[in-house]
Structure 1
């Protein structure tokens, strides 16, 4: 069984391919997962924000969860699945169901709809952690959720639950992470936010990155340079990546669409359709994506 210390490195969030008419494209999803398993990533997570999870029907969610687990069974990547329900009771059932299905780890998005109290949020997090024994990445994304969690609150979670891992993606995340790790030096921290702060977070004590999945190979190269002590090479490659992700990360729907279009242009999925409401790319955006693929030899 995976431990919290086994959650590290590059762990992209799986995109959700749709057909041109907006239906789940299972064939493209399987092809994408098979591709991602060969990139050198350590893990893969389903139902993150980049998976467009709020736009899926319940039946679709269960079906793609089953495909996710079965397709990656026996692959070198660990399989994490995100619990995003706002009801504590439903989240507990979902977490247990995903563990039973075969997930190696979970990610947990704390509830934020209708602004629950800090006590209610803590109860929700604790309840899910107590429901399973696989690692759980507790997600902190205040820009997307409007929910503020203090470093001390996260440290309390870490102290109580050794199988908790933390995905910190406030903007910027570095000072917050330093404060948190001072309070909980044993904690494992990963960062999302498209890897904008990847190297700074690794330097601050973070263990890895959880970006989108359309150019996973680039993040893997950066991470490998870092762990091999080739800091100059890591910084140069990350510096080349920054101008692109800084543009795309100005809005979540923007980077979701850009990454989906990247996957299509690379021939990994058949359509770059995103369910509405979404983001319409301009001609300049399309040119930038083509330039990106050529520059990084994808």
Structure 2
């Protein structure tokens, strides 16, 4: 059994909301949580995941999201891994000189707990908060707004990314209402848009007064359209970070046709994997395992168990993108 010991929290990262927001650009992977075959967290594998992802050249990472199975972690495990992430990123920053922002996720339904987690994350050294609106038992629009305002006010000197994931949560967020939040809480610096399609919502955010920058999620299924409509980044899972980085590099360099071609090769895979969240979690874990990044593809149940055809699809994917996804063994 893995022994869980908490590290001593620090007293914040010292980055302003604007400084953190400037780093949350391009590809901002959501980190996975490796487990052992018997379901314990694999601490050293998690450290390796952090070092690998930061080594791809990204300037921000998020943890724990849906891709990190946050809903399957104990409070003790979650805090330990967050502290490890912050420590590893700080050490890598010192070693390489690369600036990387850590985005700590807050998904608590109770406003009191969300405030506590946000404050703890900032004290532990996180540069930004990813805030998922409450959604259990269909809270009213006014209750959701009150929740968001309370959390934003609790960490006024820290960047906040608001996650809009209507398919997963059923929560609707009116862009005009978000503009009011930004005017009252300027630490709300970005919206992560995971609606389908995300492009029109991203474009509407950009037309607000003040405009709200957006990053796109949902595994980048509709990344080309989102880029053209003004998104400043994408937040996929982390097992194929290099592929997303190359797509984003082409788009940023003005090679839209080249980015489209690479995305078109990726799309048949991610469009199938994203049919449900547990499927893409299991798939990304298997990709990381087959690349040699983690020692087990285990997902804590309830989970999606990959069948023979899905495993063969992963093999085809790794063969097709082998130039961008070398073995890490």
Is 1:225 the counterpart of 2:250 in the alignment?
A: yes
Structure 2 runs not aligned, ≥5 long: 1-14
Distance in 2 (CA, whole Å) between partners of 1:222 and 1:123 is 38
TM superposition shift of 1:4: 2.7
TM superposition shift of 1:161: 2.2
1:49 to 58, 66, 69: 66
1:110-259 alignment runs, 5 A limit: 110-132=133-155, 133-164=157-188, 165-184=190-209, 186-259=211-284
Deviations 1:107-146 (A, max 9, x none): 0011111111111111111111111112111000010001
Distance in 1 (CA, whole Å) between partners of 2:299 and 2:203 is 36
Deviates more, 1:210-219 or 1:163-172: 163-172
Aligned to 1:238, the other structure's residue is in SS state helix
Q: Is the 8 A contact 1:9 1:208 kept in 2?
A: yes
Q: Structure 2 vs 1, CA of residues 29 and 84 (structure 1 numbering), >3 Å: closer, same or farther?
A: same
1:242-281 alignment runs, 5 A limit: 242-281=267-306
TM superposition shift of 1:180: 2.4
TM superposition shift of 1:154: 2.0
Q: Is the 8 A contact 2:179 2:210 kept in 1?
A: no
1:15-34 alignment runs, 5 A limit: 15-34=32-51
Distance in 2 (CA, whole Å) between partners of 1:179 and 1:240 is 29
Q: Is the 8 A contact 2:23 2:59 kept in 1?
A: no
Aligned to 1:44, the other structure's residue is in SS state strand
- Alignment RMSD (CA, Å): 1.2
TM superposition shift of 1:179: 2.0
TM superposition shift of 1:219: 0.5
Q: Is the 8 A contact 1:40 1:217 kept in 2?
A: no
Deviations 1:227-271 (A, max 9, x none): 111111111111111010000000010001000100000000011
1:40 to 48, 53, 57: 57
Deviations 1:76-131 (A, max 9, x none): 32111100111111111111110110101110011111111111111111111111
Q: What is the match of residue 10 of structure 1?
A: 27
Q: Structure 2 vs 1, CA of residues 9 and 185 (structure 1 numbering), >3 Å: closer, same or farther?
A: farther
Question: How many residue pairs were aligned?
Answer: 298
Distance in 1 (CA, whole Å) between partners of 2:61 and 2:126 is 11
Distance in 2 (CA, whole Å) between partners of 1:198 and 1:185 is 24
Structure number with higher relative contact order (C-alpha < 8 Å, ≥ 6 residues apart):
1
The TM-score, its normalising length taken from structure 1, stands at 0.97
2:85 to 55, 62, 68: 68
Structure 1 runs not aligned, ≥5 long: none
Q: Structure 2 vs 1, CA of residues 72 and 199 (structure 1 numbering), >3 Å: closer, same or farther?
A: same
TM superposition shift of 1:184: 4.0
Aligned to 1:37, the other structure's residue is in SS state helix
Aligned to 1:225, the other structure's residue is in SS state helix
Q: Is the 8 A contact 1:44 1:78 kept in 2?
A: yes
Deviates more, 1:265-274 or 1:121-130: 121-130
